[in-house]
Amino acid sequence: MKRIILFDLDGTVIDSTDAIVETFFYVFEKKQLDLGVNDENIKKLIGYPLDIMFEDLGVDKRFVNEFVDEYKLRYRDISKAQTTLLKNAKESLEVASKFARLGVVTTKTGMYSKPLLEHLGIDFYFECLIGREHVQNPKPHPEPIYKAIEQMNVNIKENDIYMIGDTKLDLIASKNAGINGVGVLSGYGTKEELQEHSEWIYNDVLDAVRFIQSKYI
């Protein structure tokens, strides 16, 4: 039986809050649209697909794709300089890689996430990276998890598979996919939100990995 751990990125392994917030404000300014949006409005939506974020912030659905395209162009340019590893993230991957195979399941665009992970020096830990463009249905739909498992060539019913994430979307997706969801408090979801969808909630990704590791000692 193989052990698989799938990781969310934002709020779980990396912190790109500044880049995300700045990019949203940049797009609103470029489009000359004042919706009275503040930092907290944006942060509450991190983890959702960009189109949903823009809609929830008040952008007319007819123009959302234009806003998303502008966002991606700007984010690509500034993300490396404004993204850092969360505390204990590197150690967590080192520990996890000793007893499990690792993958990434994110709602971020995959083609921008890969160079970001390379820049942070952690890309080599992961066998696969499933981003927004790789699926029709993002989290909380189970499709991204199924896609990762398919790429890793394992049977979901015959292996121990975990998803570590900081929002309810990660945990609901885990439940929908029939795998184990582990929540972390290092990102954007509240403890109360996460506890509704998993009994396993930890301070950060290293604590979560150590919990999983303890099952095999």
Q: Provide the CATH number for the domain formed by 3-15+84-214 in this structure.
A: 3.40.50.1000
Report how far apart the first and last C-alpha atoms of the chain are (Å, whole number).
15
Question: Which tokens go with 14?
Answer: 């990396």
For residues 170 and 145, what is the distance between their CA atoms, to the nearest angstrom? Answer: 10
Residues of the chain below pLDDT 50: none
Topology annotation, domain 17-78: DNA polymerase; domain 1 (1.10.150)
pLDDT (0 to 100) of residue 2? 84
pLDDT (0 to 100) of residue 158? 87
Question: Which tokens go with 9?
Answer: 């990125």
pLDDT tens, position by position, 117-156: 999 999 999 999 999 999 999 999 999 999 999 999 999 9
pLDDT (0 to 100) of residue 182? 99
Per domain, the residue ranges of the chain are 3-15+84-214, 17-78
pLDDT (0 to 100) of residue 189? 96
pLDDT (0 to 100) of residue 217? 81
Query: Residue 7 class from Cβ within 10 Å (0-12 exposed, 13-18 middle, 19+ buried)?
Result: buried
CA neighbours closer than 13 Å in the CB half-sphere of residue 38: 1
Helices H, strands E: what count in the chain?
A: 10, 8
Query: Residue 142 class from Cβ within 10 Å (0-12 exposed, 13-18 middle, 19+ buried)?
Result: buried
Which residue, 204, 207, 210, is CA-closest to 13? 204
Residues 6+ apart with CB under 8 A from 201: 182, 183, 184, 185, 191, 194, 195
For residues 168 and 196, what is the distance between their CA atoms, to the nearest angstrom? Answer: 8
